[in-house]
Amino acid sequence: MSEGNVGKPLDRVDGRAKVTGKATFAADTPVARVAYAVIVGSTISRGRIASLGRAEAERVPGVLAVLTHDNAPRLPGGEGKGDSNERVLQLLQDDGVRYDGQPVAVVVARTLEAASFAASLVDARYEVEEATVFVEPASGGAFTPKPSGPRPPPDSSRGDVAGALAAAAVKVDATYTTPLQTHNPMELHGTVAVWQGDNLTLYDATQGIFSVQRRASEVFGIPRSSIRVISHFLGGGFGGKGSPWSHVMLAAMAAKVTGVPVKLVITRPQMFAFVGYRPLTIQHVVLGATRAGKLVATRHDVLSMTSRFDDFMEPSAYLTRMLYACPAVETSHRLVRVDVSTPTFMRGPGESTGSFALESAMDELSYALGMDPLALRLANYAETDPDEDKPYSSKSLRACYTQAAERFGWARRPAAPRAMTDGRLRVGWGMASATYPARQPPSHALARLRADGSALVLAGSQDIGTGTYTIMTQIAADNLGMPIDRVRFDLGDTTFPEAPLSAGSTTASGVGSAVKVACVALRAKMAALAAGDRRSPLHGIDPKDIDAEGGELFARAAPSRREPYEAVVARQPGRIVEAKVDEQEKPERKNYATHSFGAHFVEVRVDEAIGRVSVSRVVSAIAAGRVLNAKTARSQLLGGVVWGIGFALLERTVRDVRDARLVTKDLADYLVPVNADVPAIDVLMVPEEDPWVNAIGAKGMGEIGIVGVAAAVANAVFHATGKRVRDLPITLEKLL
């Protein structure tokens, strides 16, 4: 077996299709006779629809239907979670209004222009009820969320935290706030729905085609086998496209009612309304330590928001349970119900928000101790997982600290705040740790060899822009012993073997492991076929002694005895040989704690006259197991750091505290980093071998890049100015 492709910085195999416009995204799917749907959103946050006038909209030429709660079909599965445990939807099944922008009507027309104009004519009148939005911890009504799926419980406790804090020589007690943030990928959420009799095809911008299939099956009361979901390319997802939202089922409903295919693409303002967001969090952190800097106790309590009709918990305190060696740790998560839509996962969910609080508190502790921030972290380095009481499958955080600090020049950092200047600008250096769990969901894959000597590998995964097509092709080529240009990997179709949601940095570990195992099984099958065939030059050799390279099988002991794959396949019935696998987490993996680790070092420049902060330099070192493609991995880490800069300085979705309505509704008001905001980012990928984490040794790169960046920026701002900002984003008025 050759090992020539995995790890190399190969160009994306789908790159040419993307830059030439041949890559078909969901909303670009050509479908004959397609009509266009536009959602009408509510203009109140809580109440009931008193009346909903359709007549004027229905008179617009080209309009096929105006669906409201008065005339929409009753759905067998309703709007609830069902067995899939997905989000509660709003599908025109009643007259209740639960949040600003909730779908209250869907207009379908022959053209997008007609549908948009008609939607503006829908006359909705409301009975308004008082709405509340989560602002302060004193909002009241906080409750403990129920654990969902395989996630740990919301609360944890080990050791005597109260006693240890009472006896601690040095303490930090502070509250940190992160704002509501909205996913804004380049590609808007969009769906094309096509019914053929009782069979439904959905071309959907989704991170989980099988999740959409399951949800549609529940909502419409039809078998999963009658539903096909296709998603070949995504223009970004970041967690927001991880759940099937209301617009997907509304598109299918509209197509069923009108009898024609329907395309529904939500608008940029609607991205803020009903397809999820990162919830606001208020986090209370208490640290206790000895004079030497050893942690003796940690408390981390998280309060966040959810909708009145559904639960979503931002797991911000999970990393506090395991990142540092501390004998006494308590964490809790509480939710408050308010009149908003349901939050969801957003890049680095939990760890990105929680790391801001924990790593800011660690920085504050370093100043209280008069100790270097890096030295404090090294003094509390956890050699084993203190939460799970297990050894790590691998952990290279110490190497991350060392390499990044050396590259950054951390040893030259003056300890005192306000000690560095560049002209009239204050200069500050800050750092923070990063971690993210390395999970492996079950996945299926199929590998097939054809008589022309090519290979096709299939898995019902998604490429959300991270390079999945490319890394799977690399894995397949190496494990089949074939040239990469003879291997094709395909995804994004529920007719393919089932694969998990592309989220949580699990696609490489889950699907990648399945692809490897399927290709190894296929190679072994081919060796057995050749060894048992009198017509093969490899006849009679033990299949275990046969390997493959360059698309040929060969005997290890006698490399001149070889045969091309296509010759073996050509002699088989159907002229195809394939292997399908169901790859599960290995039992021995459960003996280890599995996490990626990293460290960020940041330099900022602050103009105190106007309160302007600019990030001028970043060095990040990440250890996340085996790197599958050096180019796409680096891109993921760069993107995470850029996102972290936006998290620290720019991103915030604002709601009116009087009525819970959205104020921030587009990219004119919702600020994200642009080129001028992003400095040179130096990413170091620390080599790491992990024999336990999964079959390919990779832990995932998508999330960890953002974790800790906001704290590193905030810590650098304090070092520059002496002002501690505990409420993100760090805007000018907080520094003036």
Average pLDDT over residues 691-710: 97
Cα(246)–Cα(451) distance, integer angstroms: 45
Arithmetic mean of pLDDT over the chain: 96
Phi-psi domain of 268 (left: phi exceeds 0; alpha: psi -120 through 50; beta: other):
alpha
Task: Categorize the per-residue pLDDT at 1 as very low, low, confident or very high, splitting at 50, 70 and 90.
Answer: very low
For residue 212, which of 257, 250, 249 has the smallest C-alpha distance? 249
Backbone φ, ψ for residue 530 (5° rounding):
-65, -45
Does the pTM exceed 0.85?
yes
Percent of all residues in the chain with a pLDDT value above 70, rounded to a whole number? 98
From the list 432, 664, 447, the residue with the least C-alpha distance to 577 is 447
Residue 566 near residue 451 (C-beta atoms within 8 A): yes
Under 8 Å between Cβ of 275 and 254: no
Quick one: CATH architecture of 15-22+441-584? 2-Layer Sandwich (3.30)
Distance separating alpha carbons of residues 461 and 651, to the nearest angstrom: 30
Asked whether this chain's domains 31-130+186-236+241-271 and 156-180+278-439+591-734 adopt the same fold, the reply is yes
SS3 281: strand
In order, the DSSP letters of 340-389 are S------SSTTHHHHHHHHHHHHHHHHHHHT--HHHHHHHTB-SEETTTT
- Across residues 50-56, what is the average pLDDT? 97
> Which comes out higher in pLDDT, residue 380 or 85?
380
Higher pLDDT, 84 or 598: 598
pLDDT digits (tens, 9 = 90+) for 364-376: 999 999 999 999 9
Burial class (CB in 10 A: 0-12, 13-18, 19+), 622: buried
Q: List the one residue out of 428, 429, 412, 383 whose CA is nearest residue 597.
A: 383
Tell me how far apart the alpha carbons of residues 251 and 19 are, in angstroms, rounded to a whole number: 29
Q: Quick: pLDDT tens for 343-357.
A: 999 999 999 999 999
**What's residue 84's pLDDT?**
63
What is the per-residue pLDDT for 140? 67
Letter for the amino acid at 602?
V
Distance CA 447, CA 458 (A): 6
CATH topology of domain 156-180+278-439+591-734: Aldehyde Oxidoreductase; domain 4 (3.30.365)
pLDDT at 426: 98
DSSP reduced 3-state for 507 = helix
> Could you give the dihedral angle defined by the CA atoms of residues 384, 387, 392 and 397, in that order, rounded to the nearest 10 degrees?
-70
Determine the residue type at 642.
V
DSSP H helices, 100-207, are 112-121, 161-167
- Is residue 590 classed as helix, strand or coil in its secondary structure? helix
Q: Cα(444)–Cα(458) distance, rounded to whole angstroms?
A: 9
Domain chopping of the chain, boundaries = 15-22+441-584, 31-130+186-236+241-271, 156-180+278-439+591-734
pLDDT tens-place string over residues 388-419: 999 999 999 999 999 999 999 999 999 999 99
Amino acid identity of 417?
Answer: P
* pLDDT (mean) for 141-166: 90
* Beta-sheet pairing, 487-490 with 455-458: parallel
Q: Which residues pair with 576 in a beta bridge?
A: 450
- Strands laid side by side in the 425-437 sheet: 420-422, 425-437, 595-607, 612-623, 681-685
Active site annotation includes 703: yes
Question: And the tokens for 687?
Answer: 């080599």
Q: Which of 364, 583, 651, 703 is catalytic?
A: 703
Instruction: Report the distance separating Cα 94 and Cα 254, nearest Å.
Output: 17
**Within 10 Å of residue 78's Cβ, how many Cβ atoms?**
16
Q: Write the pLDDT tens digit of every residue in 55-69.
A: 999 999 999 999 999
Q: Residues 66, 120: contact at Cβ < 8 Å?
A: no
Reference 200, options 176, 174, 218; nearest CA is 218
- What is the b/e burial string over 323-339, where b = at least 16 CB atoms within 10 angstroms of the residue's CB? bbebebbbbbbbbbbbb
- Does residue 21 have a pLDDT over 90? yes
According to CATH, the topology of domain 31-130+186-236+241-271 is Aldehyde Oxidoreductase; domain 4 (3.30.365)
